Structure 1
Amino acid sequence: MSKYPDFIIIGAMKCATSTLHKQLALQPGLCMSEPKEPYFFSNDEVYAKGIEWYLSLFKGAGENDLCGESSTHYTKLPTYPETIKRLNQHCPNAKFIYVMRHPIDRLISQYIHEWTMRVISVDINSAVDQHQELIDYSRYTMQLEPYFETFGSDRVLPLFFERMLSSPQEELERVCKFIGYSGQPQWDFELDAKNVSTQRLRNSVWRDFLTETPGLRELRRWLVPKEVRDKVKDFWTMKEKPKLAPEKIEQLEAIFDRDLAELGSWLGIELNCKNFKGMVKETERNWVAVPQKSLSKSA
């Protein structure tokens, strides 16, 4: 009998969802998908593979195992507009976990990722103006409202990147309680929970061919001194964390403070860019009042 996911980590991008996925995969009785991000319900080309392909990701699950996957594309409106409809069609009883992070920190981390992948080539200040998705993916209320409208807020667990770093065991226990896991989860502190995207190399087909091809790799190490190889490596590396101009930070804070004010009302706190990290780290946060809005307003 095919098993559907009991829970899905839906984002947000660059908020340690990979770390949470790996930690859950270590717990006995939990079956996490491989790959971690199948993107089935968001990406048309993956959805075209059919539901049986998707269910095959959980074929290793035991009869009583809970199944889960993690796809940050599921909270990337308006890029992937069919996600909610497809989830409701195939997984109407699933629970959802949404990890948030200071919206500007998340934006910067996404920029680094997109620069590495050669999706973005301009500086970060220009990128904010040219790539609306950098802002949209940090607008957490906009991403969450369709889930509340379709599934109800009680089916969505709010998590925060900052609290996962400071209280990982407690947050893992909260996740497991939410998904109905009856075991005793243990956080593995040997797994790296921190984002190291500033150390990533920019994509290069030629570099990867020269450095990863057997034979060429050994020849390169034999003929080219390490100090020369390191200098060449620097060519593809982002050496400094990108910095937003003061006026750009002010612009972003105005946008995100409006979004965070609504998010804070759902959590029963006052929330803005200035107090975000302190407020979300001090204690666990749960929804206290989420008004039902029409899907047309939230999309």
Structure 2
Amino acid sequence: MIDNRGNNLIFLLCTPRSGSSLATVMLQNHSKVFATQEMWYLMGLYDLQLAVHRPYGGNGIIKQFYNGMLPKETFEQASKAFSLQVYNGLMQSSGAEMLVDKSPRYYYNLEFIDSLFPHSKRIWLIRNPLAVISSYKKVNKHVRDRFNLIEDLMHPDFNIKMTDITVGLFRYYHYFSGESTYAYRLYYEQMVRKPQEELEKLCGFLGLTYEEGLEKYGDFADSSKSGLYYSMGVGDPFIVHHKEPHLQSIDSWKEVLDKQEIEMYCRALGAKIFVDLGYGEQLKEAEKLTGAKFEMEPDMELISLRTKQLADASGCRWIDRYQLRSDYIDFGGSMIQPDLPEDHQAVDSQLLQAQITLRSLEKRLEKSYLEQRRLRSQLEATKEKIKRVKAMIPFGNRLSEWASTYLTGGRKR
């Protein structure tokens, strides 16, 4: 069972099209693991506090409740309690002892994950970035969905797929940049070259004993776990064409991508991230194919634009260059105190009530201040409009005086 700190909970993290479906379909064959297709569960839970459009209205009320009345710590505690009920409920249905939440776009809420489950195991599945966009191009063509790197990468409009392959990649890059006993790097290329060896090492990290034949996922096709996995209809549509990992996709980017796509994406990411992730040789091949030499640093103007677009679209805010944390933290980085003993509960209750009142008053004052600024701005705009209208009328000031005199009862001509 998953406990209050996230022990026995596993997050499989990566950008979309990095091979997470393959990793999951092998992990789920372990007798002690519950793993299925993408959940996106914690993203929806996190978004409860965001004032997005709802058909029944009340956006202002919802925003005031979550951001003006309900303390962040209380929201996190409630989210944790609900998540434990959900995760453990799923495991009970399968008799497993560990659960894998595989959701590639969790780069969206890494701080939230750490605040809820600081002792969860986080696996970063890493793949050559050029192979990732190659897979995007191939899969989206197969399912008749749009993926046009040339048109969309530098386009000013928001595009979640372009955000995945830029912001998402760098979010994970920074998140896993430090050392942690709760973090593990799993390379796609090694996973498909030596699947048994890599699964043995991964099981060791998770505290599991490797079970023979995990990598031969085709042998488990008739199991109830596999039935649940494939019934969801998401992830890699080509995985059913094979029964175990293969090497066909490792270098396919050289044929799938054209020179312009390779050069554009490498310039966007910069050479440093390729080298740091162990893909320096692939970068040299890309330079040879395109005849270009790539700068070390990424296109920060593009990364900043995509980051701002996602923040504006979602209302989400992140810590810049956020790294994995395994202690109790809130989004601002301050420590959250553990549960207080019973003799302090009365004092804690009074403190909580005072905090709620304070936050509510602060929000009301902030709203009042913003309303005053809005009215002042409206007043100044109206005055300017009157001035412009007067300036357009010949003898405007004299006409104004005559009109005023006439309306107040005078009969001057």
TM-score by length of 1: 0.60
- 2:175 aligned residue: 146
Residue in 2 that maps onto 1:94: 120
Q: Deviations over 1:226-267 (max 9, x none)?
A: xxxxxxxxxxxxxxx995442332122233323223434xxx
Describe the shift of the 1:244–1:24 C-alpha distance in structure 2 as closer, same or farther (beyond 3 A): closer
**Which structure's CA Rg is the greater one?**
2
Pairs aligned (count): 225
The alpha-carbon deviation at position 62 of structure 1 amounts to 4.3
Q: Percent identity?
A: 17
- SS class of match (1:42): helix
Asked whether the 8 Å contact 1:98–1:157 carries over to 2, the reply is yes
Q: 1:198 to 1:41 in 2, by over 3 A?
A: closer
Shift of 1:31: 2.6
The answer to whether the Cα contact below 8 Å between 1:13 and 1:137 also exists between their aligned partners in 2 is yes
Match of 2:42 in 1: 41
How far 1:53 sits from its partner (Å)?
A: 3.1
- Aligned residue in 2 for 1:224: none
2:118 counterpart SS class: coil
Query: Aligned partners of 1:262 and 1:102: how far apart in 2?
Result: 11
What is the match of residue 170 of structure 1? Answer: 197
Displacement of 1:84 in angstroms is 1.6
1:252 matched residue in structure 2: 265
Residue number among 99, 122, 131 corresponding to 1:67 in the alignment:
99
C-alpha separation in 2, matches of 1:144 and 1:27? 29
**1:11 has 2:14 as partner:** yes
Map of 1:126-145 to 2, 5 A cutoff? 126-130=151-155, 133-134=160-161, 136-138=163-165, 140-145=169-174
Give the letter for the 1:57 counterpart: L
Task: Report the alpha carbon displacement of residue 126 of structure 1 after superposing the two structures with TM.
Answer: 1.5
- Name the aligned partner's letter for residue 127 of structure 2: R
Higher helix share: 2
- 1:189 is aligned to 216
Deviations 1:104-127 (A, max 9, x none): 12013224445566652x644223
Q: Give me the TM-score of the superposition, normalised by structure 2.
A: 0.45
Give runs of aligned pairs for residues 1-299 of structure 1, distance below 5 A. 5-32=8-35, 34=36, 36-44=37-45, 50-51=82-83, 52-60=85-93, 62=95, 65-75=97-107, 80=108, 83-114=109-140, 120=146, 123-130=148-155, 133-134=160-161, 136-138=163-165, 140-147=169-176, 152-189=179-216, 191=218, 197=238, 243-256=256-269, 257-264=271-278, 273-274=283-284, 295-298=319-322
Distance between the aligned counterparts of 1:180 and 1:198, measured in 2?
27
Mapped contact 1:29–1:62 kept (Cα < 8 A) = yes
Would you say the 8 A contact 1:103–1:273 is kept in 2? Answer: no
Residues 2 and 59, structure 1, Cα contact 8 Å, conserved in 2: no
Amino acid at match of 1:22: V
